[in-house]
Amino acid sequence: MEFGSIDEQLAYLTKGCVDVIRPEDLKAKLLRSAGTGEPLTVKVGFDPSAPDLHLGHTVVIRKMRHFQQLGHRVVFLIGDFTGLIGDPTGKKATRPQLTPEEIAANARTYERQIFKLLDPERTVIDFNSRWLGKLSSADWIRLAAKVTVAQMLERDDFRKRYEAQQPIALHEFLYPLAQGYDSVALECDVEMGGTDQLFNLLVGRQLMRESGLEPQVVLTLPLLEGLDGVEKMSKSLGNYVAVEDPPFEMYGKLMSISDELMWKYWLLLTDRTEAEIEALKTGVATGQRHPMEVKKELAATIVTELHGPSEAAAAAREFEKVFSNRQRPTDIPEIELPSPGARSLVSRIVASAGLAGSNSEARRLIQQGGVRIDETRVADVKAEIDTSPGREYVIRAGKRRFAKVRFIDTT
């Protein structure tokens, strides 16, 4: 990607950022890189405890791609050593430590997902055990001497737990030190993360300075609200869009967000410029564009990037068919279940068919009016259906999950 000036590059790289520490340092680094031809080293660390990526994770991954597009070196750093410590960020209690086997298994799932956005040829995947695992006890003591306990207690989550007399394990103080030392080992020019990572990123600047290195520039990105528009996108809260969600499901989820939240998604989940997004806002405000049409454009843009244009077009057609024309999807998964007998609870069948994560979730869906059997809404959580061998039903759970269920005799 070509830009006419360093100022244009700076605007592109800081688009959507919350903290830029410091803009003048980033500009100086970009000028030096342009003069020498040496790319900047840009690092982002990922905890291998949660390898299933959702769109919230892609906010910082997209910013990594922006640096790649300008020719810089991006390091996707998997914290296999720091994963043994457990990042306490935002936690009210000590995090469970992962085993090396769990970390290795989780780390393997990243590559398939990140290369939906990043260029494999321009991405360095590294593991921080490569240098942290070599530090001796004396090295850790010298490293710990560079940061005071008072500084550690400035971190919001540590301070709150200390004031509430909740336990803080000593090893948790090692996490910011370890993450900061990553920047020393890689001699980073830039490190990025969510706003909740600001303390850790600043420790990296301090350790680099004390090691005689030029401090890294710190960029933080907003934490993306999930589909509910309230809580941070999270798989545990169920308000997420997974990077590997099927195109139709991804498109439908994106169409469910509020008109207000749509603008933040445009800013953080697409490469549209701020001027282009403002033009879309103006079009909606003046009545030239309908919010629904702009949201469809957003959904198509994101699905195209993660799945391809033909899949996005098919998802859009399917959405119109199912939600605008009230028809069933074209491709409904067919599932065979062993007949549990003459009759069974609908909630149990919904869960068994994989349309809900558990019986309790299936019951909640029924209570919310979100379950239909052959287009008839199920109103009672205690409702039963005939599950004799040979019976078939099209079951719909929520807005986007369908299955054709057939019961078979397994005796």
Residues 41, 45, 48, 50: what is their CA dihedral angle, to the nearest 10 degrees? -130
Pairing of strands 123-127, 73-78: parallel
Q: What is the pLDDT of residue 330?
A: 65
**What's the whole-model pTM score?**
0.75
pLDDT along the chain (411 residues), means of 10: 81 94 96 95 86 91 95 93 68 59 78 89 92 94 89 84 86 89 97 93 94 97 93 86 92 93 96 93 94 95 96 92 67 83 88 86 87 85 88 83 85 72
* Level-2 CATH architecture, domain 334-408: Roll (3.10)
Q: What is the pLDDT of residue 28?
A: 97
Q: What is the pLDDT of residue 264?
A: 96
Q: So where are the chain's domains?
A: 6-221, 247-324, 334-408
Structure-block tokens of residue 36: 């020498």
Which DSSP letter does residue 323 get?
Answer: I
CATH class assigned to 247-324? mainly alpha
Q: What is the pLDDT of residue 1?
A: 55
Q: What is the pLDDT of residue 202?
A: 94
Contact 220, 201 (CB under 8 A): yes
Q: Which residues contact 139 (CB under 8 A, 6 or more apart)?
A: none
Q: Which residues contact 339 (CB under 8 A, 6 or more apart)?
A: 387, 388, 389, 391, 407, 408, 409, 410
Q: What is the pLDDT of residue 329?
A: 67
**CATH for 6-221, among 3.40.50.620, 1.20.810.10, 3.40.47.10, 3.20.20.70?**
3.40.50.620
Pairing of strands 343-345, 190-194: unpaired
